[in-house]
Structure 1
C-alpha cells in the first residue's frame, strides 16, 4: 500500500463515517494526504483529516478521529490506529501491506512516480534564451539544468510540455556583434561597446575562410554578411553545447520573426480590442498600470521604432495563440523587473496573470576550486562557459549540482567537491547507491537467485526494510510536489537524504545475497524485490534530473 493508496483509504473511511452519522458529505475534500511521522514510534503514517473536518461539520475533532480510527481499523492492511493530541490519527500497517510497495515499484518500472496531476494542461516552458552573440555561460547553465529538469518533471506529472528557446536576434546587440566580427576580421580592436573574447576572432576567421575577400569590403557591405554568418555559427555552437549538456529544446523561436512577420502589429490590435492601448506624443502605449505595473509601457515609439516590450507582448500572445494554457518563463537574477510587466501583458490580453503566465527568477552561480574563484575564460573574456564547466566536471556532476539547490539562493560550486568519489559528494553518493545495487543484482544472478514473479511481502518486516519501503512509496508524491512548486531540487534532496541513505542503512543491516554456500531463502528473494524497487526509484529520479544512473563506478 503506497501513501496514495492509504490516503484514499482514509478518505473512504471518512465517507463511511459521514454517511453513518448523517454528516454533510460536501464537506469532504476531493483528496487527502498522509505523512510519515518524524518519530517512527508514532506509527507508519499520520492523518490530520479529523482536525480539518471536525469544526466544519460540528463534531469535536477528537470524537471524529475516534470514529475514523474505528472505521479504519476494520480495513484490510490496517494493523492499528491510535488517536493523538486533539485529533491526529497515527496509523500502523501490516508488514505485508507495506511490503507490497516493492511489487508496485518493480512492476511499474520507468512509469513509477508519474502521475496525472497536470493532465490536459499545455505548458510552454521557456528557459536559457541567451543572446546568440556569445557562448552559453555559467549563469545560463544553471537555468539549462533546472529548466530541462523541470520539463521532465512537468511531463511526469501529466502535462504536455513544450520547451522553447527564445533567440534574441533583433535589436542593438545584433549590430554590436556584427561590428565586433568585422573589426576582428580586419585586425582591429573590438568596438568600445562590442564583444570581446577569443571566440569573436575564431568566428571571424571561420567566416573569412569561406569568403576571404570579405575583410576588405566596406562596412555597409560586409556587416550584414558577418551578422548572418556569425549568427548561424554562434547558434550552432550554442545548440551543440546544450546537446552535450543533455538539454533538449522542442522549439527555437526567433525574435526577428515577430518583427518581420507582422506579429507585433497583430498583438497591438489584439490588445487594442481589450481596451488597453492608447496613443500619446505620437507613440503607441500599453496601459499596464491598470494591472499593477509601475508605469505604462511604450510599444511603438514616435519615430515608428518597435520597442523590446512590443516583442515581449507579441511573443506572449503568440504563445497563447499556439494553444498553450500556461506560459512559464525562467529568467536570470537581473530580470526581477520583468515579473510585473509580463504579468501586466497577460492581464491586458484578457488572461489571468495568476494562471496563464508564470515567471521564475534564478540566482547567480559562482565557481570555485578549493575555495578560490575560478579564473575567467580566456576564450569568452569575462565569463565562464558551459563547455569549460563540462570539461572540468562532466555533465552529470554539473547538472546534478546545479539542480539540487533552490534557485532562490545564490549557488557556489566547488569543482573539487563535486568531482570527488566520496559520500560527501551528493551526486556520487546517489549514483554510487545505484551502482552498488546493480552489483548486488549481478551477484544475485551469479548465485542463481532470481526474482521470480511472486514473493511474500510480509517477509520484509525488518525496521530498515520498513523504512526503505515507506521511502520508496513517497516518490510519486515527491514528483507531484516538485511539479506543483516548480522545484526540481526536491527530487535531488529526496534521492540523497531518503532513498540513498535508507538503502545504505538497509544493506548494512540485511543480508540480500546469501553468503558462501548458504541456501537462497524466501527472505533473500523478498529482499531482491526491495533492492530492484530501490534501483528503479533512483534511476527514475536521476532521469528526471537528466543525470545518468551508472551500473558500475
Structure 2
C-alpha cells in the first residue's frame, strides 16, 4: 500500500468514525498527511489527522485518535496503530499490504510513479535560450540538464509539455558577433566589444570556405551574419543533442520583429492605456501590475527595448494554446519575474499563466582550485568542456541534483571517481548491482515469487517503504518544479538498497534449497531496479546493466 493509498484509507476510515459518532465530516481535511517516522521503530507511517480534525469536530485529539486507531486496526491493511503524544497515529502495515507496494511497482513497470496532476494542461517550457554568439556555458548547461529533467517530470505528471528554445537572433549582440567574425576573417584582433576564442576563428574560416568572396562582397556583413549565426546555432543544437537535451520548438526572436508581432503587441498596449509616453519613450505601467518599476518598451530613438520582444513572445505563446508558460532564466534575470507577470496582466491575461524560475551560478573545481579557462571558448567553461571532463551522465546528474535556487560547485575530481563518494556512480552502481542479481538468478533458474508477506525483515521493510515513496516524490517534484528531488530520492534509495543487500541474502548458496523467501526477495529486487530505472530516466541519465 503506497502512502497515497494509505491516506485514502485513513480518510475513508475517519469519515466512518465521524459518521458513527455524529461528528461533522466537514471538520476532516480534504487531504490527509501521511509521513514516514524519523525513527522506524515508531512504525511504517504516521499521520496527524486527529490533531487536524478533533478541535473542529468538538472532541479531544486523543479521543479521536483512539477511535480512529481502533477502526484502522480492524482493516486488513493495518497490523497495528499506536496513539502517540497529543494525538499522532503511528501505523504499521500488514505484511500483505506492504507486499502490495512491490506488486504495484512490478505491475506498473515503466509507468510506476506516473501521475495525472497536470492532465489536460498544455505547458510551454522554455529553457537554455543562450545567446547564439558562442558555445553553451555552464549556466546554460545547468538549464539544459534541469530543464530537460523538469520537462520529463511534468510530462510524467500528465502535462502536455513543449520544450522550447528562444533563439536570440536580434539585437546588438548579433552585430558584435558578426563584427568579430569579420575581424577574425581579416586576421585582425577582435573588436573591443566583440567575442574572442578559437570558435570565432573556426566559424569565420567556415564562412570563407562556403563564400570565398565574403570579405569583398558588397553585403559582407549580411553574408557573415547569415552563415555565421546559422553555423553557431547548429553547433549549439548539436551540443544540446549530444547532451541528451532536444527541443520541440526553436523559436527565432527576429521573427517577432519581421512579422510585425512586436508592433502589434505594442499597439495593443497603447490602445488599452497600459503604455504612457514620457521623455520621448513609451513606458509600460508595470508598477500597476506588481513590478518594482515601470519599463521602457519603445526607446526614445524609436527602437523597441528588449521587453517589447518579450511581450510579443508571450502573446505568441498564449495564442498557441499554452495555459502555462514556464521560463527558466539565468541568475542575472531576477527582474524578469515581475516584468513578465506584469506584461501578462497589462495584456489582460492571467499573471499566473507565467512562471519564472531563476537558476544560480555554476563553478567548476579541480584539485581544490576553480577552473576558469576553456580550451576552445577562451573565457568561459562550456558544456563541451564539462562533458569532455566527466561524461554526459555525470554532468547531467551533477547539474540536476541540487536546487537551482543555490549556486553550485562541481568537483571534477569527485565526478571522475568510481566510488560511493560520487553520487551518480553511487546511484548507477545500485542499478547495475540489482541487474547483476537478476542475471545470476536467471542463470540459477530462480524466478521471482509472490509470497511477499514473507518480507518481514527490518531492511526489507525499509526498502519497500522507500519504493512506496517514489510516486509522491515525483508528484512533489512536478508541483514545486524541483527535479532535484528525484535525484536525492535515488540516493536515499541506493543507500537503503545497499543496506538490504548486506543484510538479506537474495539467492541460495551452493546446494541450498531455493525457498519462497528467496523468490519474494528476488521480486523485491526486480521492483527496486524498476524504480531506479524510472528515476534515472526522469533525469535523462542512463541506467547501466553493468559497471
Q: What is the TM-score of this pair, normalised by structure 2?
A: 0.98
Secondary structure of 2:215's aligned partner: helix
Tell me which of 306, 325, 328 is aligned to 1:327: 325
Residue 272 of structure 1 deviates from its aligned partner by 4.2
2:375 touches 2:385 (CA, 8 Å); kept in 1?
no
**In 1: Cα distance, 2:202 partner to 2:477 partner:** 42
2:102 touches 2:523 (CA, 8 Å); kept in 1?
yes
Q: Is 1:543 aligned with 2:537?
A: yes
1:321-379 superposed Cα distances (whole Å, 9 cap, x missing partner): 211111111111111122221121122122332x2111111111111112122240132
Aligned equivalent of 1:84: 84
**In 1: Cα distance, 2:475 partner to 2:118 partner:** 9
Q: Is 1:517 aligned with 2:511?
A: yes
Residue 240 of structure 1 deviates from its aligned partner by 0.4
Residue 528 of structure 1 deviates from its aligned partner by 0.6
Secondary structure of 1:213's aligned partner: coil
1:368 touches 1:413 (CA, 8 Å); kept in 2?
yes
Q: Is 1:59 aligned with 2:54?
A: no
Residue 269 of structure 1 deviates from its aligned partner by 3.7
User: How many residues are paired up?
Assistant: 547
Tell me which of 423, 445, 449 is aligned to 2:446: 449
Residue 273 of structure 1 deviates from its aligned partner by 5.5
1:309-324 matched pairs, under 5 angstroms: 309-324=307-322
In structure 2, do the counterparts of structure 1 residues 275 and 12 end up closer, same or farther at CA, with 3 Å as the change threshold? farther
Aligned equivalent of 1:478: 473
Aligned equivalent of 1:369: 366
Secondary structure of 2:214's aligned partner: helix
In structure 2, do the counterparts of structure 1 residues 197 and 509 end up closer, same or farther at CA, with 3 Å as the change threshold? same
1:214-268 superposed Cα distances (whole Å, 9 cap, x missing partner): 12335xx100110110111011000000001001111111100111111112222
Aligned equivalent of 2:295: 297
In structure 2, do the counterparts of structure 1 residues 366 and 458 end up closer, same or farther at CA, with 3 Å as the change threshold? same
Residue 121 of structure 1 deviates from its aligned partner by 1.5
Residue 520 of structure 1 deviates from its aligned partner by 1.3
Q: Is 1:406 aligned with 2:403?
A: yes
1:274 touches 1:350 (CA, 8 Å); kept in 2?
no
Q: Is 1:201 aligned with 2:189?
A: no
**In 2: Cα distance, 1:29 partner to 1:448 partner:** 50
Aligned equivalent of 2:498: 504
1:47 touches 1:88 (CA, 8 Å); kept in 2?
yes
Q: Is 1:2 aligned with 2:7?
A: no
Secondary structure of 1:54's aligned partner: helix
| CA-atom RMSD in angstroms | 1.3
Q: Is 1:50 aligned with 2:44?
A: no
1:191-340 matched pairs, under 5 angstroms: 191-217=191-217, 221-272=219-270, 274-340=272-338
- Unmatched 5+ stretches in structure 1: none
Aligned equivalent of 1:110: 110
Aligned equivalent of 1:189: 189
2:372 touches 2:380 (CA, 8 Å); kept in 1?
no
1:129 touches 1:166 (CA, 8 Å); kept in 2?
yes
Residue 39 of structure 1 deviates from its aligned partner by 0.9
- Unmatched 5+ stretches in structure 2: none
**In 2: Cα distance, 1:131 partner to 1:222 partner:** 22
1:115-146 superposed Cα distances (whole Å, 9 cap, x missing partner): 11111112111111001111111111011111
**In 2: Cα distance, 1:375 partner to 1:151 partner:** 30
Residue 29 of structure 1 deviates from its aligned partner by 3.1
Aligned equivalent of 1:352: 350
Aligned equivalent of 2:73: 73
Residue 65 of structure 1 deviates from its aligned partner by 1.2
Of stretches 326-335 and 267-276 in structure 1, the one that deviates more from structure 2 is 267-276
**In 2: Cα distance, 1:409 partner to 1:509 partner:** 37
**In 2: Cα distance, 1:142 partner to 1:492 partner:** 15
**In 1: Cα distance, 2:483 partner to 2:391 partner:** 20
Q: Is 1:423 aligned with 2:436?
A: no
Q: Is 1:394 aligned with 2:391?
A: yes
1:459-474 matched pairs, under 5 angstroms: 459-474=454-469
Aligned equivalent of 2:25: 25
Q: Is 1:382 aligned with 2:376?
A: no
Instruction: Flag as ranges the 4+ runs of structure 1 deviating above 6 A.
Output: none
2:29 touches 2:52 (CA, 8 Å); kept in 1?
no
Aligned equivalent of 1:152: 152
1:483-518 superposed Cα distances (whole Å, 9 cap, x missing partner): 111111111111112x11111111111111111121
1:1-39 superposed Cα distances (whole Å, 9 cap, x missing partner): 111111110010111122222322233333323111011
Secondary structure of 1:533's aligned partner: helix
1:186 touches 1:216 (CA, 8 Å); kept in 2?
no
1:376-407 superposed Cα distances (whole Å, 9 cap, x missing partner): 01321211111111111000000001111111
Secondary structure of 1:439's aligned partner: helix
1:410-461 superposed Cα distances (whole Å, 9 cap, x missing partner): 111111101110011110000000000111000000000022xx51111111
